[in-house]
Chain A
Amino acid sequence: MYKTVVKQQVRSMYAAFNGGDYHPLLNAFDREFAYTFVGEGHPLAGTRRSREAMQAQFERILRLFPGINFAVREVIVNGTPWNTRIAIAIGVSAELQDGSPYENDIVQLLSMRWGRVSRVRTVIDTGRLTDAFHRLAAAGIAEASAVPVS
């Protein structure tokens, strides 16, 4: 039952993000957390530890990839309410601002305690992601070359 509820919440948060509303995701974070996006030298890379930084990260994603769609393929929930681990497999797609398509695969690994997210690691094919940033930069989108939010 608990796992079913968590899965529904996860799907609901991504559905909201697909509509441009990142607040359900933002509100899920615990007071202390670490969110790490793999890779280096790209504008989404690195670790964030505050809600302000997460908000800036989400807003950057929506600016760089307007209309981005996260298709949740699978949600796996293991553990107890005080020590929950979640893996979310996602297919991401967007039309870049130069008109070219962008698709990628993501696995989000989360730790949750009593309904609050304490840790997230986003693993993604950095090859396709970096290629998308290069295309955006070539189209004049300066933020595609920006330093990561910290």
Chain B
Amino acid sequence: MYKMIVAREVRGVWNALNAGDCEPVLKGFAREFRYENVGADHALGGTFTTREEMAQHFALLFRVLPGVQFTIRDILVSGWPGNTTVVVDVAIAATLPDGTAYENDLVQQLTLRWGKVTSVRALIDNVRARAALERLPAGVLDAAPVAAA
């Protein structure tokens, strides 16, 4: 039952992101957390530890990939409310400003404690992400990664 509730809440957060609303994600973080885009040495990479950094990251994401859609393939939940692990398998699809399609696979590993997210490790095909960023027109990317680890 608890795992079903967690999975439903995770879906709700991603549905909000699909509508361009990152508030449910931000509210889901614990006071102390760490969000790491693993190995992502490009503009959509970075490691974040505050809600402000996360908000900036989402602002950049929505600017770079307007209308981006996240399709949840699966959510796996393990553990108990005091220490829950969630793995979210997500397909990313967007149309770049040059009209070309961008698709990628994202796997997020989350740790939750008493309903709040304390850590996220996001794993993605970074070669494909970097190739998409290189197709962007000049000026779209005027921000480097928000924070360094």
Could you tell me which A residues sit within 8 Å of B by CB distance? Answer: 38-40, 74, 76-78, 85-87, 89, 104-107, 109, 121, 123-128, 130
Chain B interface residues toward A at CB < 8 A: 3, 38-41, 74, 76-78, 85, 87, 89, 105-107, 109, 121, 123-128, 130
Please, which residue of chain B has its CB at the minimum distance from the CB of A126? Answer: B127
Q: Are A39 and B127 in contact (CB under 8 A)?
A: yes
Assess the B109–A123 pair: CB atoms within 8 A: no
In whole angstroms, what is the CA distance A89 to B108 when docked?
A: 11
When distances are taken between beta carbons in the complex, the residues of chain B under 8 Å from A121 are: 89, 105
Whether A85 pairs with B74 at a CB distance below 8 angstroms is: yes
Closest B residue by C-beta to A77: B78
- Please report whether the interface of chain B is mostly helix, strand, loop or mixed according to DSSP: strand
User: What are the residues of chain B within 8 A of A89 when measuring CB–CB?
Assistant: 87, 109
> With a CB–CB cut-off of 8 A, which chain A residues contact B126?
125-127
Q: Which of A87, A104, A128 contacts B87 (CB 8 A)?
A: A87
Closest chain B residue to A103, Cβ basis: B39
Decide if A107 touches B107 in the complex (CB within 8 Å).
yes
Name A76's contact: one of B78, B123, B127 (CB within 8 Å): B78
CA distance A107 to B107 in the complex (A): 7
Complex: how many Å from CA A106 to CA B126?
Answer: 13
- Please, which residues of chain B bring their CB within 8 A of the CB of A105? 38-39, 121, 123
Residues of the B chain whose Cβ atoms lie less than 8 Å from the Cβ of A85: 74, 76
- 15 A/B residue pairs, CB under 8 Å, sorted by A: A76-B85, A76-B87, A78-B3, A85-B76, A86-B76, A87-B76, A87-B87, A87-B109, A105-B38, A107-B87, A109-B107, A123-B107, A123-B125, A125-B40, A127-B40
B77 partner residues in chain A, CB cutoff 8 A? 76, 78
Which among A38, A76, A104, A109 is the interface contact of B125 at CB below 8 angstroms? A38
Bound-state CA distance A105–B77 (Å) is 20
Q: How far is the CA of A87 from the CA of B108 in the complex (A)?
A: 11
Q: Which residues of A contact B41 (CB under 8 A)?
A: 127
Across the interface, A126 reaches (CB within 8 A) one of B76, B109, B125, namely B125
